[in-house]
Structure 1
Amino acid sequence: APALGPLVYQHVHPPPLPAGDHVSPFYIQAVFRAPHHYLPDAFPLPAVLSFGLIAGAGLLAFSFPQVRKLLTAPRETGLLLLFITLACLIGYLFTTVWPVFFIVKLQLFKTTVLAKLLFVLILSATVSRLMPTFLWRSAARWLAGPWPSFMALAGWTIVCVGLITGNPFIRSRALPWEHEKTPMAQLERWIRTQTPTEAIVAVPPSWDGFRTRARRAIVVNFKAFPFREDHMQGWYRRLLDMAPIAPPERGGAALLPLLDEAYEQLPAGALLERSERYGFSYVVRQTPLPSSHSFERVFQAEPWVVYRIRPREDR
């Protein structure tokens, strides 16, 4: 809701687009950048199935008068579910059948999050209706006993065992400082301490935390997406300049390996040309660059190498 005002304003007063050829904003935002947020046929199948299961069970339960009597506002709940259904139908119509970019940006399918909450409440009321009184009393006695403490202890035991055995899933969440021991952290630390604060760095498009940890500007990445139509044109052009790939029929996170590979294959001459265009003076990549007067190898943290692009007058 807070974003609706600026969204309407930008639709009524669109910013002027930069000169040159333009790519459809619908394609950039909904097809190339994040189809799983906007296009129904790109939604993950497990998420669709789980929502369908919850929705089916919730609607079935809501159809019983005994369950509706347990709800504080059954009429309002029904109207809200109807509104969400209409929003999803409008979203499907204007994203898949007849794309309208303003409707696409509203992300009407996000209303299913509220629907899921309502269905959970309905199902909870159903369970409370069906559960015999003696089970409620048993549950109350169980909660008053030592079992919740034992379960908490078991959870901490799992975490500790994961840390001791080096489970990567648990360590990455329980010990975020583990990142400081990685080659990436060494690279970020070197960039942060050994380069000018105004330096701009070219990095693989999939890197989304480098700018924060290294405290340096980057040329572009896939994650940091500008939502203004004029700016997204520049983002798209810059991204494909640094990682030249053919515009795909469907994008999203699956593009990241392709973009990184294209970035790594960018030849030295193309990097020099783009450094003149975008003003970056450092390049981070795995693929070695040929020794020349243009590139100086200044740091390495396997598998990453940092090259400094010498000023034109020093080449």
Structure 2
Amino acid sequence: MKVTIRDVANAAGVSVGTVSRAFNGYQDINVETKKKVFEAAKKLGYAPNVNARSLSAKVSKNMGLIVSGFLQSDRRDGFVHMLLKGTYRYAFEHYLEVALYTLDSENQSEKTYARFCAEHSIFGAILSGVATTDPYFKELMNAGMPCVLIDVDIQAKGVGSISVDNVKAAMEITEYLLNANHEKIVVVQGKEDAAVNNYRMTGIVETLSKRGIELTSDQILTCNFSETLTYNKVKEYILKNGKESVTAFLCLSDIMALGVMKAVRELGYSIPEDFSVIGFDGIPITAYTTPGLTTIEQDVEEMGYQAGALLQELMKNPNMSKKVYVPYTFKERGSVKKL
């Protein structure tokens, strides 16, 4: 026989109304009571009707993970996979629905954020890969739709953000290079319209300035988070300026750091004996390069989980705005030499 909500209520020793409120995310239920309800449901194999819950609940249970620039992403960074994994884990634990959607800047011009969400029955979304020049970035300020941005901070009602403290992390890796006596530093940056790139650049510039070091324009290579573009620009830079012009490459993503390492080796140099390289992101492959890449490791799965939690909070309190920092880890490996 099909298990009903009444069966769950009897097994948990609570009323049918309490079971309903537990599944619909009401905050006036004791944590232990909610736990008993979920355990009883799991034991009995009870599956709540998603459509019925969405109609009866105060908050819709349809969460969307919208990824911009998906086709341009590098498959090795695993960012989207880990973000989705974390978001889904939160959704699974809280009996929510989550769907993945992909688009790019051109799609955003064709269809507004509000319309996109309405057409897909999304009443709250997590957005990743949104650039500061994207139509959605400007629209979010007044969209009136709960959303959580990954690596972008917007102060507006119903909008939250999840990231590591990119400014602080960038300051830490810059300080690390300076303490290793590197002053001839070339910064390999990503896209200039990417908020995360600008946060990291802010941390680098501030740290160098405190040491009385000016970062000139010819010490910045803009490589758009591309390994191939980085490889070409770094190779050209070394051939043009000579080995003595730089001792360390500070890369704002691990993918670009891989491009640096490839260029250095093809020119017949070694890491870290001739050039030091440091990255940012902590993608898995960096633990297996030779030498291993010193980098900032982000817990992207935790970012996805926290994004799910923050989105549900915003869906219940649409007038709030909140920023959440997820802890990062400094991974010291063998790619930086102390001079």
Same fold (TM over 0.5): no
Larger Rg computed on CA atoms? 1
- Normalising by the smaller structure, the TM-score range is under 0.3
TM, length-normalised to structure 1: 0.26
- Larger % of helix: which? 1
TM, length-normalised to structure 2: 0.25
